[in-house]
Amino acid sequence: MNIKIIQIFAFLLLLSTSIIAQQDVQYTQFMHNKTAINPGYVGSTGVPCMNALYRNQWTGFEGAPISQSLTFQMPFAKKRVGVGLGIVHDKLGPTESWSVSLMYAYHVDLGKSKLSIGLQGSISDYRIRWDETDATQSGDLLIPDNATTSKFIPNFGTGLYLYSDKYYVGLSIPHLLRSELSFVEKQFRVQGVNKAEVHAFLMAGMLFKVNNILRIKPAGLIKYVKNSPLDFDIHTSLILYDQFWIGATYRAGGDLISNAGESIDAVLQLQVNNAIRVGFAYDFTLSEIRDYTSGSFEILLDYCFHTNGKRMTNPRFF
């Protein structure tokens, strides 16, 4: 099949989000970017932390998805409250979006564990750059005359996050409103198509100490969207000397032809010091699209602000 046809097919498939695809950005290093998924997480690290992540999906495809997220979260009021700020940029072909979110979480002490209840308000700028497209038919009335069309869409979400030094479980719906995303004139729209679908995320992770050198940290993420196949990631990391992280992830999904899943992902991270952690992930594609892409990759940077030189436990691992 011609590579141009493959690119067009993939682009249309990703745009058909109201029926079979997910709209929210996916992260291979989700276990270290939880602020972007669950507002209940903010404040749980016990110290102010910043997180930056860059993702390049399906390298080699013209117009393939590129995403960046930048989050900041901190506790206050004797660590009973957490607040956060998140900025997410996503680009796919001629489509682009910027989202800014404010998050608030209240943490309840349950003894050895804590339960956090989070709220999130966001506003997103969705746009299409029509000057980056080529119309198959000149004079198409569905294509606006102006070079760029955009709209601002508000939304809100919520999340629960149960955590301790040994485990965490989180359930979240970052966007509860099904807003209209279509840029087509109302009289040309198909009812129910191009809506902002509701996404639900269930995450969990545990920490096992084998000895003074090795810890094992399994984690999982289930992603649910109505009328879309259930998607999930299963991850395990080996942590050596509390500093070197070596992990692997299996991501379900992909296509209905090979039925092998979406990808197998390698994750490497380094805890540089008490404040800084850097990470790199590479996705080896398993679906039929693997013949036309060299895979996907992510780069992550964590920075936590400390008032002393003590080694941290929960912020580092969770």
- Read off the tokens for 21: 């695809």
Domains of the chain: 3-317 (2.40.160.40)
- Read off the tokens for 97: 């979006």
**Rounded distance, CA 168 to CA 180, Å?**
34
Q: For 39-93, write each residue's pLDDT tens digit.
A: 999 999 999 999 999 999 888 777 788 999 999 999 988 889 999 999 999 998 8
Summary mean pLDDT of the chain:
82
Assessment of whether the complete model's pTM goes beyond 0.75: yes
Q: For 241-290, write each residue's pLDDT tens digit.
A: 999 999 999 998 765 555 678 889 999 999 998 889 999 999 998 877 77
**Rounded distance, CA 84 to CA 105, Å?**
9
- Read off the tokens for 229: 């196949």
**Rounded distance, CA 199 to CA 228, Å?**
10
- Read off the tokens for 218: 């399994």
One-letter amino acid at 116 equals: S
- Read off the tokens for 86: 């998140």
**Rounded distance, CA 20 to CA 274, Å?**
42
Q: Is 144 helix (H, G, I), strand (E, B) or coil?
A: coil
Residue 200 confidence class, pLDDT cut points 50, 70, 90:
very high
What residue has token string 């000895």? 211
Residues 6+ apart with CB under 8 A from 243: 270, 271
Q: Is 102 helix (H, G, I), strand (E, B) or coil?
A: strand
Of the candidates 203, 225, 249, 282, the one whose C-alpha atom is nearest the C-alpha of residue 23 is 225
Q: Is 260 helix (H, G, I), strand (E, B) or coil?
A: coil
